[in-house]
Amino acid sequence: PVEGLHGGGRMVVKRKGQVNVERPTREGRSRYAFGVHTVEEHLGYAAGQILEIWLAEPLNRARRDLATRAASLGVAVRRVALPEIDRACPGASHQGAIAVLREFRYAEIAELTRARPRLLVAADGVEDPRNLGALIRAVAAAGAGGLIIPKDRASAVTPATEKAAAGVTAFFQVARVTNLARTLGELSKAYGYWVAALAQDGAQNLYRSELPEPLVLVVGGEAGIRPLVRQNCDTAVAIPMSAGVESLNLAVAAAVACFELRRRLG
C-alpha cells in the first residue's frame, strides 16, 4: 500500500484512480498525514507546514470542525468524495481527513542539543513505521528532548509513523543520522552526554542505577541494539520483570524507562 506521497508539492488523484506521486511543484516535495486527530495536531502545532487539507464529503461533525479550524488559520481545504481519499491512502484508517504537508524536516544534532535537554533518546533499527510512531509518542510524553534514528536499516518518519504518533511529529524533533554509533560518540565527547543502553541483559537495574545527566537513552528496534552501537554506550540498564515475561513492546519499554528518568530529574 502507498504510505506517502514523496514527489509532489500537491497530492493529486487522477479520475482513473491513479495517484500522481512524481509531480514537483513550487512548494517542493510533500507528504501527507491522515486521521482526524493527527490533522488536528498539525493545525495546532504546525499549520505553516500544511499545504492543504482534504476532507471527505459529506462532512460529519469532526471534519466540519477541522474545516472551521483550517479556515481560521488560512489553510486551504478541499472537499472531495470519500473514494478519492481511499485511493490516495488505501487501507489506511484516515477517517476522511488528510493533511498534505511539506516534506518532513529532520532536526540536526546541534538543534537537539542547543537547549541542552537532560534526556535524549536514540532508537537503533526500528523498521516498522508504526512502532516508530508509537515510540515517538511515548518518549515525547515522558519529556525527552528529541529522538535520534539512523538512516540505514530503519524506518524513516512516514505517514504511518505520524498516524501512530497521533500528530506528535508536528512539534517533536527527530534527527536522522548516517552513523548512529559515531553520533553517540560525538554526543559523549563534544556535548558531555552520558550514554545508556536499555537492554534485557543490562548490568544495572533501571530503578537502582545511577545515571548522570545529560543522558542519551538508547533503545533497540525489532532486532535489538547492534553491537557497534552498544559499544558506544557507557553502560546498560534493564527493566526488572516478573518471571515468565521476557520483554516489553519497544514503546512501552521506552516509556517505562523515560518516565522513571523523568521522575528522577524532577
Residues 172-208 have pLDDT tens digits of 999 999 999 999 999 999 999 999 999 999 999 999 9
* Residue 247 C-alpha from the chain's centroid: 22
Residues 24-65 have pLDDT tens digits of 333 345 678 889 988 998 898 888 889 999 999 999 999 999
**Residue for grid cell 554509533:** 181
Per-position DSSP letters for the chain, written without gaps between them: ------S-SS-EE-TTS-EE-----TT--EEEEESHHHHHHHHHH-GGGEEEEEEEESP-HHHHHHHHHHHHTT--EEEEEHHHHHHHSTT---TTEEEEEEPP-PBPHHHHHTT--SEEEEEE----HHHHHHHHHHHHHTT-S-EEEESSSS----HHHHHHTTTGGGTS-EEEES-HHHHHHHHHHTT--EEEEE-TT-SEEGGG----SSEEEEEEBTTB--HHHHHT-SEEEE----TT-----HHHHHHHHHHHHHHHH-
What pLDDT is attached to residue 13? 30
* Residue 20 C-alpha from the chain's centroid: 25
* Alpha carbon distance 63, 255 (integer Å): 32
Q: Which amino acid is at 144?
A: A
- pTM comes to 0.78
pLDDT at residue 16 tops 90: no
Residues 107-165 have pLDDT tens digits of 999 999 999 999 999 999 999 999 999 999 999 999 999 999 999 999 999 888 988 99
| Residue 128 CB neighbour total at 10 angstroms | 17
pLDDT at residue 4 tops 60: no
* Alpha carbon distance 205, 159 (integer Å): 36
Residues 101-120 have pLDDT tens digits of 888 899 999 999 999 999 99
What pLDDT is attached to residue 86? 86
**Residue for grid cell 535537554:** 117
* Alpha carbon distance 168, 260 (integer Å): 21
Closest CA to 140 of 6, 41, 30, 24: 41
Are the C-beta atoms of 193 and 187 separated by less than 8 Å?
yes
What pLDDT is attached to residue 30? 63
Q: How far is CA 226 from CA 129, 164, 222, in A?
A: 19, 25, 11
Torsion angles phi and psi, residue 52, rounded to 5: -170, 165
* Alpha carbon distance 89, 5 (integer Å): 9
Torsion angles phi and psi, residue 11, rounded to 5: -90, 120
